[in-house]
Structure 1
């Protein structure tokens, strides 16, 4: 079994956190100064697990930024005198008291990483200092079971998918180092951050105090136990969804393994979360789901969510059992060159075979408790207009695969929810073609009439929609000058078909284009 970390648990005492933040600010320990210090190529190499280019770039540099870069970014011991000079307010004793380092003779040995992390949201660009456990590069080996992960690819993915709405109360379930809680705290009055790991909560609280974020409550417990009886306008989670064999000698990492068989943790989360949503509240998570014995994973996921709730699932990739097993065995620091790789691979494949798993999907899940009834208020207690119109709600049921690159996913999801709610009251009287939409026409040689007409989105979900000449003409006329009815009537005359016949054909397709963001409501 993988060993438990012998690193100390952070002790986020407020005054020491403030002193450390002041020292980091004075040293300018931020992404851009560090990239200038050791170069963009070396900085990019670190993301691929190589620190040698950075070490070569700053060899012989005893400056404060270089010292802190080695200590906190690379996780390397530094001379006591150099660290004391770099952290004059906190001091070496204060750093040890925070649980971020230990002193060995004349050197300071880091027990955690502390790296600047940039972010971009609707309010602009910012940066935080994020502390987490030493990674594989710093440890030069496999991770301990209670490892607290820093900001990884999954964290960034979830951050990009969260709808940018103002809320009263939010929940970050399985907060880890606290990055999602920090992001959500920018748009929430109160955030509750939970985790089963005491070490993770200590890191998350330290990070909140380092960055002067004071509207986050930290609670320890499994799944929804710490918030029993409460409700939230927004729930976000990067849960420990990794599918791991439940057999001896297969390591279970707290940051990624929920302790259940197969995709049962995602199922449990999806079935339980709606009970903790306010009216109009939204839950968003990342997850894995298995396709078993001919039943697609997306179909299984769809069946877990009651039909009166909105459900929008985007599957981003599918992996075979072999590819999935290799991915997560390597993630734990074991490679095919290591003696333990083959036994782990065998355990993973046997586990998948036992459930007749043919593939594993990964993607984003959004569930919303819609507002219904004439007295309902859009957006619940703080979701500002995404909760429905108060008319009879026709739930969203969208379960899809999208393989192309995406951008601004959170904003695209929010726009889709808002468009769906607006459509409950009918198609808006005036529509505009979205500014990122272009049209492509494909013609056979010698033919003046296009064989294919495509509408293409330049952002969001980057969808491509095949349309016929009538629908293409409709979209082309949506410049705000004419109403939808006037455009449809003109097209009926142009194509010499009865208006009702044309409208019966166009109306559901126009609705689809509005929901997908090709068309937006005009003034």
Structure 2
């Protein structure tokens, strides 16, 4: 079935099936849900599937009940051949021949068996009242071994889950999903946005996204084109992007990861362009990779891309990978295997490009932007610790605190009643010396959210504890001065920068703060 309009900026793609057949397919999937699959696989089968052991999952499934859900799992998640009669039963009322013609299955209805040509995965949010969705993508290299096709459409993976979990879920008007792929981000946006627009350069991805939307009872404005080009001149309240951010020498590659631009140019282009499509107070969240060169701080590089655009920015560096580690990661992701000629040739060429380009490493992380009319706040944090998911509420709350700090001078800060975050933990390390035990170091740690851990001294720890009594910060400082050989003014001068950092990181909450928005 051809695209309805295969030109950039066209009227959008057709789904894999006609509307009537989509309804039939949806009926067949009625019990093919997250819980239904989990019940058939059992604990060991689910664990096997989560670690990519498709063979182990299939073995557990064969011991489960012989029913349509088990057969759909074998077909669309495990990539196994399924007997024609069983496949016909599982897909009813959708005719088997229609499934083959539509590109869902490979094989012939009069043959002995069929197999899936695509992945159809049940998916649901971990929120109360969530309904099941079905996400359509290509089968991964764990199911279909060997290098992926150039136009491979990625399914639900760690990157897409990271972005979904980091996106604030406040009600918004217009939402935009840049590089929608299989449409998983658009599904999440649809839950809290009045309208959803999704773009992708790949016609194949747009067809899959259209099918995902139709099967899940959704309707989106799908547009073909590169990055923000299909929405030039428009404004959105929320933008998410999981772009083809892989750092390389450029050129042709895999649609889902390679932009064709050298180095980190695609992320620079996107970050420079996002302010132009954000409505006032609009938010954008995107995954990004960036070049790290010897002697260059990653924050300086990203800062040059976002400075002067009127947006508050919070960037996280979650990982840093050397060239060899980075190349191995993405070659494996594309289905290449160590020891093969393909692997060796691509590995050597890619590492040689890193060396000739002076790239020492690649930073990987997330960037959030908010369009503001005020003097923008720019923050760049290494976030290497394990965090509590979902973290989208924390992303939103950071922006609220950052704006409060920007608008609060020292006098107002001293008059404010700050509240310690719930469940803060203080830990101390004591050294044994001639005079007995003495505290050598102590830390404050958050039990939830971003789980920051920072070094503090006795004075800061006492100040945080004093805030729990509900007194203004100035009163807490006055009380602290009684135990220290310093005046309240001297203590305030010393601790206010630390207090601002504690507020920015969420150890201390400004007046009127509430819990994260999930």
TM-score (norm 1): 0.88
Aligned residue for 1:485?
Answer: 474
Aligned residue for 2:43?
Answer: 40
User: How many angstroms apart in 1 are the aligned matches of 2:187 and 2:41?
Assistant: 28
Alignment of 1:188 with 2:193, yes or no, is yes
Superposition deviation, residue 144 in structure 1 = 0.5
Alignment of 1:117 with 2:123, yes or no, is yes
Superposition deviation, residue 234 in structure 1 = 1.2
User: How many angstroms apart in 2 are the aligned matches of 1:78 and 1:110?
Assistant: 9
Superposition deviation, residue 522 in structure 1 = 4.6
User: How many angstroms apart in 2 are the aligned matches of 1:12 and 1:269?
Assistant: 33
Q: Residue 435 of structure 1: which of 422, 440, 463 is its match?
A: 422
Superposition deviation, residue 126 in structure 1 = 4.9
Tell me, yes or no, if the aligned pair for 2:248 and 2:263 is still in contact at 8 Å: yes
Aligned residue for 1:158?
Answer: 163
CA change 1:497–1:43 in 2 (3 A) is: same
Superposition deviation, residue 512 in structure 1 = 1.5
Aligned residue for 1:421?
Answer: 403
Q: CA RMSD in A?
A: 2.2
CA change 1:268–1:497 in 2 (3 A) is: same
Tell me, yes or no, if the aligned pair for 1:480 and 1:522 is still in contact at 8 Å: no
Aligned residue for 1:59?
Answer: 62
Alignment of 1:21 with 2:26, yes or no, is yes
Q: Residue 462 of structure 2: which of 473, 480, 486 is its match?
A: 473
* Cα deviations by residue, 1:227-274 (Å, 9 ceiling, x for unpaired): 010011111100000123346xxx600011101011111111111111
Aligned residue for 1:369?
Answer: 371
Aligned residue for 2:34?
Answer: 31
Superposition deviation, residue 365 in structure 1 = 1.0
In structure 2, the gaps of 5 or more residues are 1-13, 513-518
Aligned residue for 2:3?
Answer: none
* Cα deviations by residue, 1:395-450 (Å, 9 ceiling, x for unpaired): 22211212111123222221111112223144372121111311123333245653
| SS of match in other structure, 2:153 | coil
The 10-residue stretch of structure 1 (83-92 or 196-205) with the greater mean CA deviation from structure 2: 83-92
Tell me, yes or no, if the aligned pair for 2:54 and 2:143 is still in contact at 8 Å: no
Q: Residue 170 of structure 1: which of 172, 175, 179 is its match?
A: 175
* Cα deviations by residue, 1:109-136 (Å, 9 ceiling, x for unpaired): 3211111123325x66554211111222
Q: Residue 199 of structure 1: which of 197, 201, 204 is its match?
A: 204
Superposition deviation, residue 293 in structure 1 = 4.7
Aligned residue for 2:500?
Answer: 511
Aligned residue for 1:281?
Answer: 282
Q: Map 1:240-251 to 2 at 5 A.
A: 240-246=244-250
Alignment of 1:313 with 2:319, yes or no, is no
Q: Residue 81 of structure 1: which of 81, 85, 101 is its match?
A: 85
User: How many angstroms apart in 1 are the aligned matches of 2:430 and 2:145?
Assistant: 58
Superposition deviation, residue 99 in structure 1 = 2.8
The 10-residue stretch of structure 1 (189-198 or 454-463) with the greater mean CA deviation from structure 2: 454-463
User: How many angstroms apart in 2 are the aligned matches of 1:448 and 1:133?
Assistant: 61
* Cα deviations by residue, 1:19-58 (Å, 9 ceiling, x for unpaired): 2222211xx2123332332322222223333322233233
Alignment of 1:406 with 2:387, yes or no, is yes
Tell me, yes or no, if the aligned pair for 1:297 and 1:360 is still in contact at 8 Å: no
Alignment of 1:149 with 2:136, yes or no, is no
Superposition deviation, residue 482 in structure 1 = 2.0
Aligned residue for 1:353?
Answer: 355
User: How many angstroms apart in 2 are the aligned matches of 1:58 and 1:268?
Assistant: 46
| SS of match in other structure, 1:67 | helix
Tell me, yes or no, if the aligned pair for 1:245 and 1:347 is still in contact at 8 Å: no
User: How many angstroms apart in 1 are the aligned matches of 2:297 and 2:96?
Assistant: 55
Tell me, yes or no, if the aligned pair for 1:290 and 1:296 is still in contact at 8 Å: no
Alignment of 1:71 with 2:75, yes or no, is yes
Superposition deviation, residue 159 in structure 1 = 1.1
In structure 1, the gaps of 5 or more residues are 1-8, 373-392
User: How many angstroms apart in 2 are the aligned matches of 1:137 and 1:16?
Assistant: 29
Q: Residue 499 of structure 1: which of 458, 477, 488 is its match?
A: 488
CA change 1:204–1:303 in 2 (3 A) is: same
User: How many angstroms apart in 1 are the aligned matches of 2:21 and 2:48?
Assistant: 32
| SS of match in other structure, 1:368 | strand
| SS of match in other structure, 1:460 | coil
User: How many angstroms apart in 2 are the aligned matches of 1:449 and 1:41?
Assistant: 49
Superposition deviation, residue 190 in structure 1 = 1.0
Count of aligned pairs between the two proteins: 488
Tell me, yes or no, if the aligned pair for 1:58 and 1:66 is still in contact at 8 Å: yes
Aligned residue for 1:397?
Answer: 378
| SS of match in other structure, 1:181 | helix
